[in-house]
A and B are shown apart, each in its own frame.
Chain A
Amino acid sequence: NAGVTQTPKFQVLKTGQSMTLQCAQDMNHEYMSWYRQDPGMGLRLIHYSVGAGITDQGEVPNGYNVSRSTTEDFPLRLLSAAPSQTSVYFCASSYGGGAGANVLTFGAGSRLTVL
């Protein structure tokens, strides 16, 4: 049971390049989400999904796309990277029922630098 797996751990991009941050979970969680962590600003929600085929915007969705074609995977796409997207990105998942409902399980994080 790997939990939440994020790849890559580190990435450097040039302004304007595109890339995808991968997130996979093996816990059959319905809910998945992406956050960015910036100093002094905590974690800010980018996008989230309550199940396969369903996604919604969080606090800071601009510049990011997501899709949820399977329960396990929730990739985050940067279509044209900007220096303001330099951050540490966290994927998190949870399930909706039972004793541990709504408790987020986090990935290890992906550190992205945009030059």
Chain B
Amino acid sequence: AQRVTQPEKLLSVFKGAPVELKCNYSYSGSPELFWYVQYSRQRLQLLLRHISRESIKGFTADLNKGETSFHLKKPFAQEEDSAMYYCALRRNNNDMRFGAGTRLTVKP
């Protein structure tokens, strides 16, 4: 079965600490992976995607096909990073599957 796994439902770090949100996927085809974020009282929005290979708000994510992972990392967390983060996999037939999400809290 094609699926996305985010093993941590909750993650709490202190401001300035590194943060890593884990995402593993299983998919027999060629994956396209995304991270979406939902800040409090805002709409779900794209944070980054693996094909762009860019850093957004200090976050990066590298697709590791050998480990089937797409972990999201930031070296120094900020309070404004507190949000719900979803990893998503786009399958070849155009549907997008999401993980269960990780709620990140950055404490002052």
Contacts and interface: CB of A to CB of B under 8 A. Distances in A.
Interface stretch (A10-18, A19-27, A99-107): A99-107
A45 B39 CA distance: 21
Contact of A33 (B44, B45, B95): B95
Contacts of B99: 42
A41 B101 CA distance: 8
B90 A102 contact: yes
B49 A103 contact: yes
Interface in B33-54: 34, 36, 43-46, 49
Contacts of A42: 6, 86, 98-101
Given A40-B9, A42-B86, A103 B46 contact: yes
Interface string A29-48: 00101010000111111001
B79 interface: no
B32 A102 contact: yes
B94 interface: yes
Interface residues of B, number: 21
A24 B101 CA distance: 26
B94 A50 contact: yes
A107 B43 contact: yes
A81 B98 CA distance: 24
A26 B6 CA distance: 33
A39 B9 CA distance: 10
A92 B101 CA distance: 17
A90 B97 contact: no
A103 B6 CA distance: 20
B37 to A, nearest CB: 11
Interface of B: 6, 9, 32, 34, 36, 43-46, 49, 86, 90, 93-101
Closest 6 CB pairs between A and B? A42-B100, A43-B98, A106-B44, A42-B101, A42-B98, A106-B43
